[in-house]
Amino acid sequence: MIIDIDQLSQEGWKISKDFEFSSGELVEERTTFHRPVHAEMWVKKEGEDVLVKGRISSWLSLLCSRCLLPYNFSVDSEFDHVYMPEEFEEIKEELEEEDINKLFYYNRELNLRDVVLEQLNLTFPLKPLCSEDCQGICPVCGNLVSSGKCTCRVHDADPRLEKLNLFRKDKTNG
């Protein structure tokens, strides 16, 4: 959905719209959508700046980075952005400190689909986990550690630190 900045009134527009994205457009490419991304936005022109304030929500499925099983992920994120005309991008270094976090629109247009996509990508966790205590996949047998099928004993200690373990054992015994 592209907004023509010149058509935008000073009072602003309230926009309620569902957006559909392919998983290839997302940071987490193995994402499955259970429902489209719903956006409630208020778009207002203030001088040459465009204010976009809103909230996105959706329900999707991500893959856990430890066990590789899908899990449900709820998106509910608010945003508040100020967009400046592209001419200001050239002098970005000279802008005031409060202007440094402002974004830019180009050709007197603002693509709200891009705004929503950016916000959606910002909601994804850096390392998707189905739960904080997910033990993942056994590096020896390949089974899920939490399934009980794995009976492997993995010794994760760094061999360079073995001498410290001997020191610790001596200290507790003596």
Count of Cβ atoms closer than 10 Å to residue 51 Cβ: 14
The model's pTM is 0.72
pLDDT per residue as tens digits for the range 20-49? 998 888 888 888 899 999 999 999 988 888
Q: Element (H or E) spanning 84, and its range?
A: strand 70-85
Whether the CB-CB separation of 80 and 62 falls below 8 Å is answered with no
pLDDT per residue as tens digits for the range 94-139? 555 555 567 777 788 888 899 899 999 999 999 999 999 998 998 8
Count of Cβ atoms closer than 10 Å to residue 63 Cβ: 17
Q: Element (H or E) spanning 109, and its range?
A: strand 109-111
CA dist 66 and 11 (Å) reads 49
CA dist 151 and 98 (Å) reads 57
CA 82 to chain centroid: 20
Count of Cβ atoms closer than 10 Å to residue 26 Cβ: 17
